[in-house]
């Protein structure tokens, strides 16, 4: 099977799994919104992930995304698999010793961290946030297991176990949330936190059979002097620095949000979840699927194939996400009503959430593209360049937040993220162009302009349709579902018609992939 077909097949599988996972994720958020609304309790729950996420990304996430897979893949492609397993064992042992120490320290000093993180919270809400954080602090250890397992399997171009694991993760959160949470007792939102821990465990366990089939070899060693271990360390250091600084950006966001109206952090979080929907389903799936192939091209120095593969991935992401961005802007009110407006989540909460969603939606395509571009650097075993550019965009994000939070409130926090994504994307493209001499820029630009034109046409059509139906059906849940479904269908048809008239290559590729799936 050719590299392009392998990437397409893997991306298709990951997209389906991500779609199922995201649907469950929104079902989870919908249940939580119905139970607790947009309140200080949901603010506490969303804030409780910051410290566990910091620990995970410091020791695991950055290592996996930037260093572990490229180095382990190189051992596989060069036929030195056994030596690769010794490197894996050393890295696993180092990570778990470090994680154990950090989790213990974090459990002790959680109250102090929460005080710094959200000084605007009431004492009661700080206490709730502290309790939730301590529950979720178990998650990094379990996510490390599943993350490392995923990295090993991805190196062998095996993707389905980790994809299934994300589905089971969200299913566990939903199950325990329903069983343990009670709407009239805000502290029982901890049921969802318990589900997070159980879900992380399920995410790991489901990958074990596939890991055993590839021939797991574990050694109880820590070889600091092994060249592979040193190389992973050198590649991971800038990523670790990047994520540490990124958490400072998250801290500024939550700090500013804690001083806004109660529920503001939740409105940003819910809209951010919608913003991440196309990024996770399409862009991240394509990026994860294309990464091993990019590593292979770079290792074998097949530079034409490297540029062709990366260009195809970027153009496909643009073709998919630009119309989704436009559709989300136009249909944001019925979308939020359908997903969240029930129980304790009111029409006023919908209006408040629609503001940051508008500003997030503007940056969907840029955020999607920067899931791919850094991986091109990682495949070249250069982690410093994307990290340096990422740090610049983080600084820009913080400046944007400080400038925009007063005039736009929660919307300013969202808009800052979108603007920073655009800044990051432009810088990455510029440096890649200088590094590789060519990045197929003309085709990427042509696809961007054609997709934007077709999306603008689609936006006008869907906007007129939604306004007409809203005046007739009103803003009830049933009416919103009808508007959302018919508007999405009409938008897809109008966009597809415009893309076909322009004879876009990406349209034919997408149509061909769908036809093959249906045929199978």
The tokens describing 352, both together, are 């408040």
pLDDT tens digits, one per residue of 23-57? 888 788 889 988 998 888 999 998 999 899 888 87
Is 6's pLDDT higher than 80?
A: no
- In whole angstroms, give the CA distance from residue 500 to residue 287: 26
pLDDT tens digits, one per residue of 313-347? 999 999 999 999 999 999 999 999 998 898 888 89
Given this model, what pLDDT does residue 443 score? Answer: 92
pLDDT greater at residue 62 or residue 478: 478
DSSP sequence for 70-107: HHHHHHHHTT-HHHHHHHHHHHHHHHHHHHHHHHHHHH
Is 100's pLDDT higher than 80?
A: yes
| Placement of tokens 């379990």 in the chain | 142
Query: For 262, left (φ over 0), alpha (ψ -120 to 50), or beta?
Result: beta
The tokens describing 334, both together, are 């019925």
Query: For 219, left (φ over 0), alpha (ψ -120 to 50), or beta?
Result: beta
67 DSSP assignment:
I
Is 411's pLDDT higher than 90?
A: yes
Number of other CB atoms surrounding residue 190 within 10 Å: 24
Given this model, what pLDDT does residue 64 score? Answer: 61
282 DSSP assignment:
I
Cα within 13 Å of Cα(238), Cβ side: 19
Radius of gyration of the chain (CA): 23
pLDDT tens digits, one per residue of 439-452? 888 999 999 999 99
Identify the band that residue 399 occupies on the pLDDT scale cut at 50, 70 and 90: very high
Is 508's pLDDT higher than 70?
A: yes
* 3 state SS of 182: strand
- In whole angstroms, give the CA distance from residue 493 to residue 100: 52
Per this entry, what is the length of the chain? Answer: 520
- In whole angstroms, give the CA distance from residue 24 to residue 29: 9
Smallest CA-to-CA distance from 345 within 412, 270, 261 is with 270
Is 15's pLDDT higher than 70?
A: no
Single pTM value for the model: 0.74
Smallest CA-to-CA distance from 87 within 218, 215, 204, 207 is with 218
Which ranges in 156-283 belong to alpha helices (H)?
Answer: 160-180, 190-205, 208-213, 227-258, 264-278
Q: Which residues of 117-132 are buried (b: 16+ CB within 10 A; e: fewer)?
A: bbebbeeebbebbbbb
pLDDT tens digits, one per residue of 491-502? 999 999 999 999
Choice among 14-18, 276-280, 315-319, 321-325 with the minimum mean pLDDT: 14-18
Q: Indicate the average pLDDT of the chain.
A: 86
Given this model, what pLDDT does residue 1 score? Answer: 47
Given this model, what pLDDT does residue 230 score? Answer: 85
- Ranges 78-87, 182-191, 364-373, most confident: 364-373
Cα within 13 Å of Cα(89), Cβ side: 15
pLDDT tens digits, one per residue of 198-229? 999 999 999 888 888 877 777 788 888 888 88
């Amino acid at each position: 099977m050719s590299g392009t077909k392998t990437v397409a097949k893997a991306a298709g599988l990951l997209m389906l799994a991500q779609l199922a996972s995201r649907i469950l994720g929104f079902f989870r958020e919908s249940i939580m919104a119905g139970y607790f609304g947009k309140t200080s309790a949901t603010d506490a729950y969303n804030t409780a992930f910051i410290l566990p996420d910091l620990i995970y990304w410091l020791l695991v996430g950055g290592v996996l995304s930037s260093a572990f897979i490229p180095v382990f893949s190189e051992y596989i492609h060069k036929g030195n698999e056994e030596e690769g397993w010794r490197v894996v064992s050393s890295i696993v042992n180092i990570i778990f010793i470090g994680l154990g120490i950090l989790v213990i320290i974090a459990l002790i000093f959680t109250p102090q961290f929460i005080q710094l993180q959200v000084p605007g919270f009431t004492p009661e809400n700080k206490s709730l946030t502290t309790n939730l954080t301590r529950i979720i602090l178990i998650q990094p250890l379990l996510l490390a297991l599943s993350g490392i397992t995923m990295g090993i399997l991805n190196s062998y171009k095996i993707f389905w176990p980790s994809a299934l694991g994300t589905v089971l993760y969200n299913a566990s959160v939903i199950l325990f949330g329903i069983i343990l949470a009670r709407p009239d007792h805000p502290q029982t939102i901890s049921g969802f936190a318990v589900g997070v821990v159980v879900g992380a465990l399920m995410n790991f366990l489901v990958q074990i059979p596939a890991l055993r089939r590839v021939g797991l070899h574990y050694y109880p060693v820590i070889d600091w002097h092994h060249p592979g271990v040193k190389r992973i360390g050198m590649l991971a250091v800038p990523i670790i620095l990047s994520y540490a600084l990124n958490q400072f950006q998250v801290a500024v966001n939550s700090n500013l949000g804690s001083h806004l109206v109660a529920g503001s952090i939740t409105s940003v979080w819910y809209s951010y979840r919608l913003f991440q929907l196309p990024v996770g389903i399409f862009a991240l799936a394509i990026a994860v699927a294309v990464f091993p192939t990019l590593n292979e091209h770079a290792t074998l120095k097949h530079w034409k194939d490297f540029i062709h593969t990366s260009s195809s991935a970027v153009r496909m992401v643009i073709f998919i996400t630009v119309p989704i961005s436009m559709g989300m802007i136009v249909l944001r009110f019925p979308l939020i009503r359908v997903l969240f407006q029930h129980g304790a989540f009111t029409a006023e909460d919908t209006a408040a959430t629609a503001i940051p969603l508008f500003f997030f939606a503007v940056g969907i395509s840029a955020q999607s593209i920067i899931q791919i571009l850094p991986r091109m650097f990682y495949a070249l075993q250069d982690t410093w360049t994307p990290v340096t550019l990422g740090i610049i965009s983080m600084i820009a994000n913080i400046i944007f937040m400080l400038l925009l939070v007063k005039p736009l409130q929660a919307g300013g926090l969202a808009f800052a993220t979108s603007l920073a994504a655009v800044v990051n994307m432009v810088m990455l493209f510029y440096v890649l162009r200088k590094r590789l001499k060519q990045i197929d820029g003309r085709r990427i630009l042509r696809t961007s302009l054609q997709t934007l034109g077709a999306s603008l046409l689609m936006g006008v059509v869907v906007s007129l349709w939604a306004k007409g139906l809203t005046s007739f059906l009103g803003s009830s849940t049933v009416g919103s579902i009808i508007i959302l479904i018919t508007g999405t269908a009409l938008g897809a048809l109008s966009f597809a018609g415009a893309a076909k008239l322009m004879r876009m290559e990406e349209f034919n590729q997408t149509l061909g992939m769908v036809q093959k799936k249906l045929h199978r």
